[in-house]
A and B are shown apart, each in its own frame.
Chain A
C-alpha cells in the first residue's frame, strides 16, 4: 500500500547491496514504526514537482536489510514529494521488529558477545589445572586468544536471547557462560586429535601441536582438554545439560568415522556428506545452544528453536568452509587450501561438480589418491557451478536459522544472532 511516510534510514549492516542511505520525505507528521510482518519492499520515487529529487530510484531490499534500518521521524521543511512505497509480502514469518529494549546500537555481534566472554581464555586455562609444565603448555596452546571464538559467541548470545525471551532477564547465568567455555574446549580437543589424524602441520597460522611435540603427546593433550571439559560440565550440576553435551562428544567421533568411509552410491553421498557435516560441526553448536536454552528457560519450544538455529548455522558454516577451501588462497585461512581434496574428502562443491562432470566419480571413489587427481578435481570444481550451488545451499540453511531464531522475543542478542548467520555466509576466512 502506498504510504507517505517519512523514513530516514541509516543502515547498520554494511552489506554491499545497500546504498549508503535512503531518504523518503513525507508530509505526515507521525510515523508508524511498527512492522508487524516482514516485508521486502521496493519503492519507486515518482518524479516530483520539486526538482530537488529528480529521477527514478527503485531497488529491492530484502527484510534482512530492513532490520538494519532504523526509522526516525523528521518534519519536512520541504515541499511535498510523493513517494510510492510498495510493500511486498515475502515469507509469512512472525517477526517483530521494534525498538530494542535497551535501545542499544550494535554493529558487530562479536563485540556484543565478547562483553560476556572477557577472560574466556584465562578461565579455560584455569580449568586445565595440571602440574606438568609441558602437558599444560600443550593443552593451553590453542587457548591463546587468537581463535575466532565463534562458538562461545553464539552460545552467550543465545543464552541472553533465551533469558530475555523467558523473563526479560538481562543476565547471563554463570552456568551458561560455563557452557561457552565447555563448547570451546570440546571443539579444541577435537581439533587437536583431528590434526594428528590428518597429519596437519599448521592451524590458525601456527604449527600444530603434533608437529611440535609429536603425535603421542598431542593425543594426550586432546584427552586432557576433553577431561577438563567434562569436569567443568559436571560442575554445572545439571544432568540434562550433561546428557546434551556428551551427545556432542559422541557425534564428533562418529562424524570422524563417517569421514573415513565413503559411499559408492552417488545419491547416498550427499546425505552422507550432510550427516557428517552435522555430526562434525553443527552438533556442537546446536547442542550448546540447546544447553544454554535449557538453563535459561523451561519451555521446550525454545530449546527446539535454539537447537535448530545452532544446527542450521553450523551446517551453513561448514558448507562455506568447504567452499572457501576452493576459493580462497592460503594466507587468508591460516591453513592451506585444497586441504579437503588432499585428504581424499569429497565436499559439497565436489559433489555438485560431479553431477556435471561424471568423470569425477572415479576420482572420488579412490579419494583423489592418484597423482594429479587433486588438481584435476579442483579444476572441475572451479569450472562447474559447484561453488555456487554449495553457497546457495548454505544460504538456505542460514535463512532457516534466521526463521527459527526470529521466533524469540526481540533483543539485541537475537538480532546479533541473525546478523551472525549473515556473517557466516559472507566470511572469507
Chain B
C-alpha cells in the first residue's frame, strides 16, 4: 500500500478515540486546515499535488527519517497503551501502525469531523521546498556549486524543510500536555494522563533533538540561529494560545487585532517565515532575496491562519454543536468593533445554564462586521505574499506558491 493510500484510510483508524476535551478544539482549530467547505477539495488537492510534483517527491515522506529509530518504536508501544484513554496525544499525532509501517504525522479535528488527510500534509515543508526552487541557485555566488541538487533544490534545503516540520510537530505534540490538577473524573484515571504526558514530553523532545542535530549538520550558524529563534517565537506563540480566559470563562482575551496579529505571527508565522529565509541563506542568496522569502512565508502563514479561523463562519451547512475558538480572527475583530463590554454582554446572552451556545453566538458574530473584516484581512495578507513573490523569477515553483495563496484566500 502506498503512503498516500494509507493516509486516505487514516480517518477510519483514528475512529473511536472517545469524546475529547475542550482544549483540543483550540488545538485543532488553530492548527489544522480544513480544505472542504470554502474551496472544492479537488482544487486544493490539485494545488498540493502539482506542488509536490514540482519539488520532486511527495512531501509526506519528510520527517520519516527520524522515525527510523528504536526510541520511536518504544514510544509507539507506549502510545498504544494510551488507546482507550483520553489523552490528547492520541489525537494530535498518529504513530506507527501495528505492522510497523511508517506514517507521517497527521492532525485531526475533534468530535468526529471528517478528517482531511490530504490537506495537512506538511504544508510548511512544501512551501520551503517551493521557495527554494523558485529562488533557484545563486548565479552570483559560486560557492554552492558543490552542493548536490535534485529537482532544482539543494539537499541542504530539503533537510531544512524536514527540520521545519520536525519543529512544528514537536510543538504540536507538546501542546497536547494536560495540566494534572485540572482533570475531571470524565477524563479518566490520573495515571493514564500522567503517562500520556510523559510520552508526549519525550516524543516532543525527541523530535526537537533531531531537529537540532539536523541543524548542526547544515554547518551554517546563521541558519541555526534563525531556526532556534523561530522555535523561541513558536514557544511564546503556543503560550499565548493557552489562554485561560477563553477556556474557563468563555471570554475572548482582552486584545485588539494588532496584538492578535503579533501573537499569531509568533505561533504561526515565525516558523515558516524564518525557515523560508533560512532556505535562501543556505543557497547564499543576498539579504534582499532572504527578506522577500521571509515576507512570503509570514504573510502566507497569516492568511492561512485567518482562513482556518473563518471556516466555522462561512460554511453553508453548519453542524450546530461545532464550537469555535474565541480567540480566532473573526471573533477578535468582532470584539474590536463592538467594544469589549458589549461583546461580553452578547456572550452572556448566548449562555444557557453556564454553557455557551456556540450556534447562537456564531449567528451573532455573523451579523456583525467581524467575518467580513477577517476576510479582508486574509486577502490583505494574501496580497502581501503575492507581492513578495514578484521579486522571484517566473517559474513553475513560483506559480505553485501563487496558487497556494489563491487557494487560501478564496472564499466563495
Contact = CB atoms under 8 A, between A and B. Distances in A.
A135 B239 CA distance: 8
Contacts of B240: 132
Nearest to B225: A234
A215 B178 contact: yes
Given A230-B228, A250-B210, 10 more contacts: A130-B232, A214-B182, A216-B242, A217-B239, A220-B242, A224-B232, A227-B235, A230-B215, A230-B231, A239-B220
Interface in B181-222: 181-182, 194, 197-198, 201-202, 204-206, 208-210, 212-213, 215-217, 219-222
A84 B231 CA distance: 68
A155 interface: no
Contact of B174 (A214, A219, A253): A219
Contacts of B210: 250
Nearest to A254: B71
A256 interface: yes
A230 B209 CA distance: 11
A233 interface: yes
A212 to B, nearest CB: 11
A256 B205 contact: yes
A139 to B, nearest CB: 10
Contacts of B238: 220
Main secondary structure of the interface of A (DSSP, over half): helix
B281 to A, nearest CB: 12
A242 interface: yes
B79 to A, nearest CB: 12
B171 interface: yes
A231 B222 CA distance: 10
A243 B74 contact: no
Interface stretch (A30-38, A193-201, A353-361, A391-399): A193-201
5 contacts: A196-B197, A220-B238, A220-B239, A253-B206, A257-B202
Interface of A: 130-132, 135, 193, 196-197, 199, 214-217, 219-220, 223-224, 226-228, 230-231, 233-239, 242-243, 246-247, 249-250, 252-254, 256-257, 260-261
Contacts of B212: 230, 246, 249-250
Contact of A256 (B202, B213, B231): B202
A247 B205 contact: no
A220 B174 CA distance: 8
Interface residues of B, number: 44
B188 to A, nearest CB: 16
Nearest to B179: A214
Contacts of A243: 216-217
A260 B78 contact: yes
A219 B208 CA distance: 13
B179 A227 contact: no
A291 to B, nearest CB: 12
A1 B181 CA distance: 72
Contacts of B182: 214
A230 B227 CA distance: 9
A257 B209 CA distance: 13
A278 to B, nearest CB: 16
B216 A216 contact: no
Interface of B: 71, 74-75, 78, 171, 174, 177-182, 194, 197-198, 201-202, 204-206, 208-210, 212-213, 215-217, 219-222, 224-225, 228-229, 231-232, 235-236, 238-240, 242
A237 B221 CA distance: 6
Contact of B225 (A219, A235, A261): A235
A222 to B, nearest CB: 8
Contacts of A247: 213, 216
Contact of B229 (A196, A217, A227): A227
Nearest to A197: B198
A257 B198 CA distance: 10
Nearest to A216: B177
Contacts of A214: 179-182
B180 A215 contact: yes
B181 A223 contact: no
A246 B213 contact: yes
Nearest to A189: B205
Given A231-B229, A253-B205, A254-B71, A215 B179 contact: yes
Max count, chain A CB within 10 A of own CB: residue among B204, B216, B217: B216
* Top 9 closest pairs, chain A to chain B, by CB: A234-B225, A230-B228, A234-B224, A227-B232, A214-B179, A227-B231, A246-B216, A250-B209, A246-B212
B202 A260 contact: yes
B86 to A, nearest CB: 15
A219 B177 contact: yes
B65 to A, nearest CB: 14
A6 to B, nearest CB: 57
Contact of A217 (B74, B216, B225, B242): B242
A239 B219 contact: yes
Contact of B235 (A215, A223, A237): A223
Contact of B197 (A215, A226, A238): A215
Contacts of B221: 234-239, 242
B75 to A, nearest CB: 8
Given A239-B216, A257-B71, A223 B224 contact: no
Nearest to A193: B201
Contacts of A132: 236, 239-240
A226 B231 CA distance: 9
